[in-house]
Copies of this chain bind each other. A is one copy, B any other.
Amino acid sequence: MRLSARNNIHATVTAINQGEAIANVVLDAGGTRLVASITVEAVRELGLAEGSAVVAVIKASDVIVGVPD
Question: Contact string, A25-55, partner B, CB cutoff 8 A, digits 1/0?
Answer: 1010110111111111111011110001111
Main SS of chain A's interface residues?
Answer: strand
For chain A, the count of residues having a C-beta within 8 Å of the partner chain is 56
**Cross-chain contact B42 with A1 (CB below 8 angstroms):** no
Residue ID in chain B nearest A11 by CB atoms: B65
For this complex, 11 residue pairs linking A to B, each with C-beta atoms less than 8 Å apart, are: A4-B43, A4-B46, A6-B35, A9-B9, A27-B65, A36-B65, A38-B63, A38-B65, A42-B65, A55-B66, A57-B65
Q: Which residues of A contact B (CB under 8 A)?
A: 1-10, 17-25, 27, 29-30, 32-43, 45-48, 52-69
